Structures are given as C-alpha cells and as structure tokens.
C-alpha cells in the first residue's frame, strides 16, 4: 500500500512539473498574442540610515524608524507575439518614528500615511529570439494621485507619500539564454522620476539559474543621476517636503546601488511566485537599508 501511495505522489509531482508555469521570465520577454498576465507585488523597505548629497551617512538610533510598503497591481496584454501593453496601479503605506525640534524642544513623533500612490501605462516591443538572444524596447508613464505640501518650519506637516509628480522612462532589455537554461539578463532605462528631480539612468544586471519549476537569481540594481537638478549647487535651499526620518523623496541628484538575490517558483499551470531580497549599500541623497519583495503572478 505504501508503495502504491509513493508511486501516486511521484506521478502527481511529474504531472505538476510538466504543466508548471515557468519559474523565471527574462526581462525582454513579451506575452503571446492575446495573452494576459496579472501580478500582485508587495515591496517593503526598511531604512537604516540616510546618506546626503555629499555622501555623508547618518545612521538611525534605536528610537528612529522609517518603513515604506508599496503594493503594485499590474495587468499586461499581448497585442501580438512581440508587442504588449501594461496598466499599473500602486498603493503606498509609510510609517516613521523620529525625534525633532520644531520650536518647542526635542520631542518624539510618530507619522504615518497610506493611500493610492500612482497609476500608469507601459509598453514593450521585443525581437524574435535568435540563438538564445532576445532584445526589447520598453517604456512607461506614471502619474501620482496626490500633490505634496512644501515644508519649511513649525510643526511637522503631512507626511509625503512620495514626489507627488509624474514619472516616465524608456530603455532597452536584452537576455542571453544558454542551452542549460542559465540566463544573463540586462536592462537600462533613461528615466525622469519627477518634475523637480534630476533625470537618471536606471540599470539592472541579473544572472539566473533556471530549472523546471524553480529559479535562483542574483543581480545588482543601480541608479546614476545625470546631475541636472536645479539645486545641484545649492541643495540646502531646495524647497522641502515632510518625509519624517527619511531622505528618499525630494532628493538632489539621487543615486544608489542595490545588490540582490531572488527565488522563483512555478506553481500549477498559471501561477508564479517570486521572493527577492535587496540591500541598498551606497548612494547619494537617498536612504540605505533592506528591501524585501514578494510577488504573485
């Protein structure tokens, strides 16, 4: 009886693997014609220190915290085998504890804000894969659901959810796939993250080991500013927004480097799960800390 049960379990596993959703999708991939894909992603960022425009780091003490959680809903549709469109919706929640002096001496404060952050549209146009190589052109436009209040002095204002502006980007993706299904992924975008922020170059390089229904990957993400912020030579006088203990928003020529590793799992015929951990290790005019991502597609 035990032998029969074991045989049945083994057969079920084989069937599941045979029809499993792939555990890893390279950057340059596009959907099949009339194909649809829905994904829900939650990303949690925990700030441990803030780095200013000069590269000086201010580490948090035990009484100071800043956590940001983004929830993204994405829907993709394949108009052809090589062209897809995308709709994007982002929600955000921020909580921060800090101490500051707003005129009445040093006091402890707790601020939080939750709401819809932005919506956007995007596209991707890909080439045919030839000898394991595929290219794609990708772009998007997003607009915030809110505006930000400029903060100068007095009592702490309303905690900002972000830049409160539009964002657009365009760039290219490429992957190299070996016969053993190892994938080298790369993408580079020209990006404008906001009306009052410098243009920047976003890049991501990733190596993935892909099996039947499991994938492991590691990579590095970087943002390099084009240094065209209007306050590049006078960062202290840039009109501010209230962001509690953080320095992520309303930056001056922001930059960062974030190595990461991830795990992908194909489940059944239609589902794909992804977990990723990143560490923002260096930068300018931004936050340093840990980033955790969980995605279901």
Identify the pLDDT of residue 286.
Answer: 96
Identify the pLDDT of residue 92.
Answer: 97
User: Would you place residue 123 in the very low, low, confident or very high pLDDT band (cuts 50, 70, 90)?
Assistant: very high
pLDDT in tens, 67-96: 999 999 999 999 999 999 999 999 999 999
Query: Does the pLDDT at position 106 exceed 60?
Result: yes
Which region among 23-32, 101-110, 184-193, 269-278 has the lowest average model confidence (pLDDT)? Answer: 101-110
Cβ pair 219, 257 in contact under 8 A? no
On whether the pTM is more than 0.75, the answer is yes
User: Would you place residue 12 in the very low, low, confident or very high pLDDT band (cuts 50, 70, 90)?
Assistant: very low
> Whole-number mean pLDDT of the chain?
90
Query: Does the pLDDT at position 62 exceed 90?
Result: no
Identify the pLDDT of residue 66.
Answer: 96
Provide the percentage of residues in the chain whose pLDDT is more than 70. Answer: 90
Cβ pair 39, 274 in contact under 8 A? no
pLDDT in tens, 130-184: 999 999 999 999 999 998 877 665 566 788 999 999 999 999 999 999 988 899 9
User: Would you place residue 14 in the very low, low, confident or very high pLDDT band (cuts 50, 70, 90)?
Assistant: very low
Identify the pLDDT of residue 153.
Answer: 58
Q: What stretches of the chain adopt beta strand conformation (E)?
A: 36-51, 57-59, 65-78, 83-101, 106-126, 133-144, 150-151, 166-177, 182-192, 200-210, 214-225, 240-241, 255-267, 271-280, 282-284, 286-296
CA angle at residue 22 from 20 to 27, to 5 degrees? 165
Question: In angstroms, how far apart are the furthest CA atoms of the chain?
Answer: 78
Contacts of 211 by beta carbon, 8 Å cutoff, 6+ apart: 23, 181
Query: Does the pLDDT at position 49 exceed 90?
Result: yes
Identify the pLDDT of residue 151.
Answer: 67
């Amino acid at each position: 009886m035990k032998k029969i049960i074991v045989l049945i379990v083994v057969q079920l596993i084989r069937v599941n693997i045979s029809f499993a959703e792939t555990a890893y999708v390279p950057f340059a991939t596009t959907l099949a014609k009339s194909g649809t894909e829905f994904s829900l992603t939650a990303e949690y960022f925990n700030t441990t220190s803030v780095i200013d425009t000069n590269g000086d780091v201010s580490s948090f003490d035990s009484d100071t915290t800043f956590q940001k959680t983004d929830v993204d809903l994405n829907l993709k549709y394949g108009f052809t085998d090589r062209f897809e469109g995308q709709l994007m919706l982002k929600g955000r929640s921020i909580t921060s504890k800090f101490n500051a002096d707003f005129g009445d001496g040093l006091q402890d404060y707790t601020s939080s804000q939750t709401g819809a952050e932005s919506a956007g549209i995007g596209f991707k146009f890909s080439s045919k894969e030839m000898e394991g190589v595929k290219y794609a052109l990708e772009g998007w436009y997003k607009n915030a659901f809110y505006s930000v209040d400029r903060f100068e002095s007095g009592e702490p204002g309303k905690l900002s959810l972000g830049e409160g502006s539009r964002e657009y980007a365009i760039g290219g993706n490429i992957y190299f796939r070996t016969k053993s299904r190892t994938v080298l992924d790369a993408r580079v975008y020209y990006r404008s993250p906001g009306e009052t922020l410098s243009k920047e170059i976003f890049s991501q390089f990733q190596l993935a080991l892909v099996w039947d229904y499991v994938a492991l990957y590691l990579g590095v993400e970087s943002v390099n500013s084009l240094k065209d912020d209007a306050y590049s030579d006078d960062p202290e006088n840039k009109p501010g927004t209230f962001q509690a203990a953080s320095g992520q928003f309303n930056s001056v020529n922001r930059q960062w480097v974030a190595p990461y590793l991830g795990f992908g799992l194909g489940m059944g015929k239609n589902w794909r799960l992804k977990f990723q951990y990143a560490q923002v290790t260096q930068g300018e005019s931004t936050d340093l800390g840990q980033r955790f991502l969980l995605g279901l597609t």
